[in-house]
Structure 1
Amino acid sequence: MYKVIRKFKDLKHDGHTYQIGDVYPKEGAEATKARLKELSTPKNKYEKIYIEEIAGTPDDKG
């Protein structure tokens, strides 16, 4: 499970805007490992980190 640490609009989830503190992905949405890596590292278009893993939760998204 991940939490949002920087506000962003996710075009992969119908343009949903994630606010700081939100859980990512939103309820009913799926995120690939590649998408999680893209948002949790600065290896993206904006070179910013948007989400971080919540300690103690397994990452079982595919």
Structure 2
Amino acid sequence: MKYKVINEFRDKENKNTQYAVGDEYPKGDYKPTKKRIDELSKVHSTHNCVFIEEAKEEKKASEKD
């Protein structure tokens, strides 16, 4: 499953990788745990924001009704 960054953050669990709004999460060969995905996709208790959301697949022009 792919995720999209909706708030900028530095991922301390992935070698301090920097993520900007619009980036795909995760970068590189890093495989986050379900727990890490849950932490980033729900309101963070310290920062009071959500960092990632599930990326929605966009239909190509040829696939539209």
TM-score normalised according to structure 2 size = 0.77
Instruction: Please report how far the alpha carbon of residue 43 of structure 1 lies from its aligned counterpart in structure 2 after TM superposition.
Output: 4.1
For structure 2, the 5+ residue unaligned runs are 58-65
Fraction of identical pairs, as percent: 38
Instruction: After TM superposition, list the pairs within 5 Å mapping 1:18-33 onto structure 2.
Output: 18-33=19-34
Please tell me the root mean square deviation across aligned C-alpha atoms, in Å. 1.2
Q: Which residue of 2 aligns with 1:42?
A: 43
Instruction: Please report how far the alpha carbon of residue 55 of structure 1 lies from its aligned counterpart in structure 2 after TM superposition.
Output: 2.0
Give runs of ≥4 in structure 1 deviating > 3 Å. none
CA distance in 2 between counterparts of 1:10 and 1:45 reads: 15
Q: Equivalent residue of 1:37, what SS?
A: helix
Q: Which residue of 1 aligns with 2:61?
A: none
Q: Is the 8 A contact 1:38 1:44 kept in 2?
A: no
CA distance in 2 between counterparts of 1:30 and 1:39 reads: 14
**Which structure has the larger Rg?**
2
Aligned pairs, number: 56
TM-score normalised according to structure 1 size = 0.81
For structure 1, the 5+ residue unaligned runs are 57-62
Q: Which residue of 2 aligns with 1:60?
A: none
